[in-house]
Chain A
Amino acid sequence: MRIKSTLENYLFVLPAVTIFLIFYLIPFIWVFQLGMYEWDGILPTKTFVGLSNFKEVLTQDNIWWLSMWNAGYITLIAIIFQNAMAFMLAMACDREIKMKNFFRLVFFIPPVLSEVVVGLVWQWILDGNYGLLNAWLLKMGLPHLVKNWLSDPQTALTTVAVVHCWKGFGWGFLIFLAGLQTIPRELYEAARVDGANAWASFKNITLPLMIPVAILVAILTVLGTMQAFVLIIAMTGGGPAYHTQVPVLRILASMRGSSRFGYACAQGIVFGVVLIIISFVQYRFSKRSRQY
Chain B
Amino acid sequence: MAVKFSGCLRGVSALSILSLLCLCGCAPTPVENKNSVVIWHWMTDRQPAFEELSRRYEELTGVRVTFELYAPSDAYSQKIRAAAQSVSLPDIFGILGEKRDFSSFVKAGHVLNITPYMSADSGKWKNVFFSKALAVNEFSSDNTYGVTPGIYGVPIDITTIQMVYNKKLLKQIGGNPNRPPATLEEFLALGPKIKASGIQGLVSGWGEVWMIDCMANNYAFNVMGKDKVLATIRGDVPYTDPDWIKVFEIFNQMQNSGVLANGLVTMVNKNAEQLFANEKAVFAFNGSWCVNVYKGMNPGLEFGAMLPPTVSSRYPMVIWGGAGSSFMVNARSPRKEEAVKFLRWLTDREQQVFLAEITLNLPANKDSLKKISDVLAQFADDIETSTHPNVWGVSEFPAVVEALDKGIQSIVIGEKTSAQVAEEVQKIKQRELSKKNNK
Contacts and interface: CB of A to CB of B under 8 A. Distances in A.
B399 interface: yes
Interface in A2-32: none
A43 B265 contact: no
A257 interface: yes
A123 interface: yes
Contact of A237 (B208, B410, B415): B208
B266 A42 contact: no
Given A40-B104, A257-B402, A151 B265 contact: yes
Interface residues of B, number: 41
A156 B266 CA distance: 10
Interface in B50-81: 74, 77, 81
Contacts of A148: 262-263
Interface in A262-279: none
B266 A237 contact: yes
A46 to B, nearest CB: 12
Contacts of B402: 253, 257
A212 interface: no
Interface string B252-289: 00000000011111111001000000001000000000
Interface stretch (A76-84, A88-96, A179-187, A238-246): A238-246
A178 B265 CA distance: 43
A57 to B, nearest CB: 13
Central interface residue in A151, A156, A242, A253, by most chain B CB within 10 Å: A151
Nearest to B109: A44
A280 B98 CA distance: 41
A153 B108 contact: no
A241 B74 CA distance: 22
Mostly helix, strand, loop or mixed at chain A's interface?
A: loop
A43 B85 CA distance: 9
B426 to A, nearest CB: 16
A153 B104 contact: no
Contacts of A241: 265, 406-407, 409-410, 413, 415
Contact of B84 (A42, A123, A127, A253): A42
A258 B151 CA distance: 24
B262 A44 contact: no
B107 interface: yes
Nearest to A39: B104
B231 to A, nearest CB: 23
B345 interface: no
Contact of B104 (A128, A236, A259): A259
B200 interface: yes
Mostly helix, strand, loop or mixed at chain B's interface?
A: helix
Interface in A138-156: 148, 150-153, 156
A239 B265 CA distance: 7
A234 interface: yes
Contacts of B412: 240
Contacts of A256: 74, 77, 97
Contacts of A239: 207, 209, 265-266, 406, 409
A50 interface: no
Contacts of A156: 266
Contacts, number: 89
Contacts of B413: 151-153, 240-241
A162 to B, nearest CB: 16
A160 to B, nearest CB: 10
B144 to A, nearest CB: 15
B415 A153 contact: yes
Contacts of A253: 402
Interface string B199-210: 010000001110
A90 to B, nearest CB: 25
B243 interface: no
Interface in A215-242: 234-237, 239-242
Contact of A259 (B101, B207, B267): B101
A41 B268 contact: no
A240 B265 contact: yes
A43 B108 contact: yes
Nearest to B270: A120
A130 interface: yes
Given A241-B410, A259-B101, A129 B262 contact: yes
Contact of A123 (B101, B104, B271, B431): B271
A236 B266 contact: yes
A6 to B, nearest CB: 28
B405 to A, nearest CB: 9
B266 A240 contact: yes
A237 B270 CA distance: 12
Contacts of A153: 413, 415
Given A40-B101, A240-B413, A257-B398, A151 B268 contact: no
Contacts of B104: 40-43, 259
7 smallest A-B Cβ distances: which pairs? A237-B207, A258-B398, A42-B104, A151-B263, A240-B265, A151-B266, A128-B263
8 contacts: A41-B81, A41-B104, A42-B81, A129-B261, A129-B263, A151-B264, A151-B413, A259-B101
